[in-house]
Amino acid sequence: HTELQILIYLQFCADTQRVDFQPLR
């Protein structure tokens, strides 16, 4: 399963959409 990878991808996309770009952690 690549659920974890998908979650990371979605989280990354959500962060990139934000004006203040913040690292995943």
Q: What is the pLDDT of residues 1-25, one digit of tens each?
A: 689 999 998 888 777 766 565 665 5
Total domains in the fold of the chain: 1
Segments forming the whole domain that contains residue 24: 1-25
Looking at residue 3, its pLDDT comes to 92
Which tokens go with 12? 């990354």
Looking at residue 13, its pLDDT comes to 78
How many CA atoms, within 13 angstroms, populate the side-chain half-sphere of residue 25?
A: 1
Q: Is the pTM of this model over 0.75?
A: no
Task: For 13-25, give one letter per residue: b (16+ CB within 10 A) or e.
Answer: eeeeeeeeeeeee
Looking at residue 12, its pLDDT comes to 84
Looking at residue 23, its pLDDT comes to 62
